């Protein structure tokens, strides 16, 4: 099979906001306890954070990590997780039907974030709580005033404010599974009033309002319109969430979900612009895709798992090779939509639907999806170019014509490199790629990384990793193996 890729230096989509390579840690299962935090582990630092896990996280270079949820945040009392650990309450946690010990809270998490070279993206509880607790929380985190909550932070040992710059106004408030789920009207009102108080306390922050928790929600579209009618002038981003699965065991159709994600993004951006036009506003609301991944094998697990356990193993999705292919494709979709998607969080980071897994008091290792994420995050920084693709197509279950080749092209000026991410979705045929690149001098192919495994269902475990990237000979006429993800790097000289 042949495909062509035409690239022109001047055909720019936009500069990538590095925050699209963000991730997510929720108080859920073993993400926090037994994941990032395990004071009894022989790799634990003075705070109880696992250094082996930190090392793997740093390899992903995630610029932001959303915290503390997720569904968890809609029942969370942030005050339970600060100060003297021996006085923190254990509580019934209603999102995941577990016991939350509160041994990790905002104090510890921002310390962890420093060690992980990342920034906290904080969510406030707009389920059981509202603007009052949110304004106290931001005073605690960000204020330098001589007032109660800022002083409480100082008393807890943190003289300098945490300066958390990105705040989510609740989580998935459109879903009836959410603790204190709301109608779009109810949410629009509480989000607006919370946005106002948060920005009064710290005008330098940015805010994310909840969009839809899935493109198949019956309220998708109307939810966004109503929420933005209320919040448009007060927020900076609208969120999108989406998890895909391959229950039908139809790999080609599964890999086409990268196109579904593209449609979800473009439709949501269009709705933001519809409200912009309606309000005759000069401001553009951009998108925060703050939960995305593959998740289907362990969905609803909490409903049947034993209840009221501390850090039970929940949502420990084991990813196979085809999952890594879709994650690679979804990253290309995010890069190709970088003019509107400014923030994105792979959900999640450790143990819970995660690229990194741990054993209690044991090893840490990486899953298949770790690799495309790592390469996109490390090398996919710069400006996305709009490439023209010619490739044979197949038909998805929706009747869409899906090109076998999915690609994104990033001009990374800092490194003086053009980076092509390219996936051949054909399950049978290799693809010879005819690449024509205009506008660059002395382009030299320097690296071809390939992620390929003959068995689409192969998984990596702590003892065995059949799905690992390999180096191929860099070439001006690369060949992409059947069902493979690839990164092609070219060095250029300045014109
Ligand atoms: O990431 C797991 C869960 O998925 C989150 O808690 C929730 O926001 C979403 O439904």
Global model pTM greater than 0.95:
yes
Q: Is the CB of 348 under 6 A from ligand 1?
A: yes
Residue 120: both structure tokens together = 């906290």
Residue 358: both structure tokens together = 């741990």
Please state the φ and ψ torsions of residue 490, each to the nearest 5 degrees: -125, 135
Distance 72 CA to ligand 1 centre (A): 8
Q: Is residue 89 located within the same domain as residue 230?
A: yes
Active site residue 43: no
Provide the number of structural domains found in the chain.
2
Q: Which of 379, 397, 428 is the last residue of a domain?
A: 379
C-alpha–C-alpha distance, residues 394 and 34, integer Å: 43
Q: Is residue 205 located within the same domain as residue 276?
A: yes
Residue 406: both structure tokens together = 């999915």
Q: Which of 79, 133, 224, 291 is catalytic?
A: 291
C-alpha–C-alpha distance, residues 274 and 200, integer Å: 28
C-alpha–C-alpha distance, residues 74 and 29, integer Å: 16
Q: Is residue 208 located within the same domain as residue 255?
A: yes
Tell me how far CA of residue 81 lies from CA of 3, 160, 313, 425, in angstroms: 54, 18, 22, 46
**How confident is the prediction along the chain (495 residues), in pLDDT tens digits per residue?**
999 999 999 999 999 999 999 999 999 999 999 999 999 999 999 999 999 999 999 999 999 999 999 999 999 999 999 999 999 999 999 999 999 999 999 999 999 999 999 999 999 999 999 999 999 999 999 999 999 999 999 999 999 999 999 999 999 999 999 999 999 999 999 999 999 999 999 999 999 999 999 999 999 999 999 999 999 999 999 999 999 999 999 999 999 999 999 999 999 999 999 999 999 999 999 999 999 999 999 999 999 999 999 999 999 999 999 999 999 999 999 999 999 999 999 999 999 999 999 999 999 999 999 999 999 999 999 999 999 999 999 999 999 999 999 999 999 999 999 999 999 999 999 999 999 999 998 899 999 999 999 999 999 999 999 999 999 999 989 999 999 999 999 999 754
Calculated CA dihedral for residues 53, 56, 62, 65, nearest 10 degrees: -20
Q: Is residue 373 located within the same domain as residue 391?
A: no
Q: Is residue 420 located within the same domain as residue 312?
A: no
User: For residue 396, what are the domain limits?
Assistant: 2-9+385-493
Q: Is residue 365 located within the same domain as residue 465?
A: no
Distance 123 CA to ligand 1 centre (A): 13
Q: Is residue 61 located within the same domain as residue 205?
A: yes
Q: Is residue 313 located within the same domain as residue 427?
A: no
Q: Which of 333, 350, 379 is the last residue of a domain?
A: 379
Atom of ligand 1 nearest to the CA of 315: 2
Q: Which of 172, 224, 322, 417 is catalytic?
A: 172
SS3 436: strand
For residue 379, give the DSSP letter: H
Q: Which of 353, 379, 405 is the last residue of a domain?
A: 379
Closest alpha carbon to 340 in 418, 285, 296:
285
CA-nearest residue for atom 9, ligand 1, is: 70
Q: Is residue 194 located within the same domain as residue 282?
A: yes
- Ligand 1: residue of 171, 176, 288, 355 to mutate (most ligand atoms within 8 A of CB) is 171
Residue 427: CATH number of its domain:
2.60.40.1180
Active site residue 291: yes
Q: Is residue 420 located within the same domain as residue 355?
A: no
Residue 147: CATH number of its domain:
3.20.20.80
Q: Is residue 226 located within the same domain as residue 261?
A: yes
CA-nearest residue for atom 3, ligand 1, is: 70
C-alpha–C-alpha distance, residues 58 and 374, integer Å: 10
C-alpha–C-alpha distance, residues 211 and 288, integer Å: 9
Beta strand extents in 97-235 (DSSP E only): 98-100, 119-124, 166-169, 206-209
Q: Is residue 270 located within the same domain as residue 397?
A: no
């Amino acid at each position: 099979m042949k495909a062509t890729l035409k690239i022109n230096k001047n055909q720019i989509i936009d500069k990538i906001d590095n925050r699209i390579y963000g991730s997510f840690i929720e108080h859920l299962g073993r993400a926090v306890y037994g994941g990032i935090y395990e004071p009894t582990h022989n790799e634990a630092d003075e705070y109880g954070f696992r250094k082996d896990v930190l090392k793997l996280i740093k390899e992903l270079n995630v610029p932001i990590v959303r915290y503390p949820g997720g569904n968890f945040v809609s029942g969370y009392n942030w005050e339970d997780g600060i100060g003297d650990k021996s006085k923190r309450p254990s509580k019934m946690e209603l999102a995941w039907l577990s016991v939350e010990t509160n041994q990790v809270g905002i104090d510890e998490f921002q310390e962890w974030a420093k060690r992980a070279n990342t920034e906290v993206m904080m969510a406030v509880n707009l389920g059981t709580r509202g603007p009052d607790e949110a304004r106290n929380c931001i005073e605690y985190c960000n204020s330098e005033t001589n007032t109660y909550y800022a002083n409480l932070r100082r008393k807890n040992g943190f003289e300098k404010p945490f300066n958390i710059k990105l705040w989510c106004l609740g989580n998935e408030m459109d879903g009836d599974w959410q603790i204190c789920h709301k109608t779009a009207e109810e949410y629009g009102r509480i989000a607006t009033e919370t946005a106002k108080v948060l920005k009064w306390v710290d005008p330098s922050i940015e805010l994310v309002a909840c969009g839809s928790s899935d493109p198949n929600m019956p309220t998708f579209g109307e939810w966004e319109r109503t929420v933005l009618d209320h919040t448009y002038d007060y927020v900076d981003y609208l969120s999108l969430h989406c998890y895909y699965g391959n229950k039908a065991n139809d790999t080609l159709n599964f890999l086409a979900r990268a196109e579904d994600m593209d449609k979800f993004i473009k439709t949501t951006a269009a709705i933001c612009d519809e409200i912009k036009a309606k309000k005759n506003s000069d401001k553009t609301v951009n998108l925060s895709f703050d939960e995305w991944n593959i998740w289907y094998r362990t969905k609803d697990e909490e409903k049947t798992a034993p209840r009221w356990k501390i850090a039970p193993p929940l949502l420990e999705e084991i990813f196979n090779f085809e999952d890594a292919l879709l994650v690679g494709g979804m990253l290309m979709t995010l890069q190709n939509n970088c003019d509107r998607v400014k923030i994105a969080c792979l959900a999640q980071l450790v143990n819970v639907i995660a690229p990194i897994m741990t054993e209690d008091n044991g090893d840490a290792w990486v899953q298949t999806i770790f690799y495309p994420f790592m390469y996109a995050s490390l090398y996919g920084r710069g400006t996305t170019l709009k490439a023209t693709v010619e490739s044979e197509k197949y038909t998805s279950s929706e009747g869409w014509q899906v090109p076998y080749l999915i690609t994104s092209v990033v001009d990374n000026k800092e490194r003086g490199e053009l980076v092509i991410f390219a996936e051949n979705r054909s399950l049978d045929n290799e693809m010879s790629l005819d690449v024509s690149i205009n506008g660059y001098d002395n382009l030299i192919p320097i690296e071809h990384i390939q992620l390929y495994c003959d068995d689409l269902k192969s998984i990596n475990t702590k003892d065995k990793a059949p799905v690992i990237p390999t180096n191929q000979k860099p070439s001006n006429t690369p060949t992409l193996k059947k069902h493979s993800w690839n990164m092609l790097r070219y060095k250029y000289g300045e014109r």
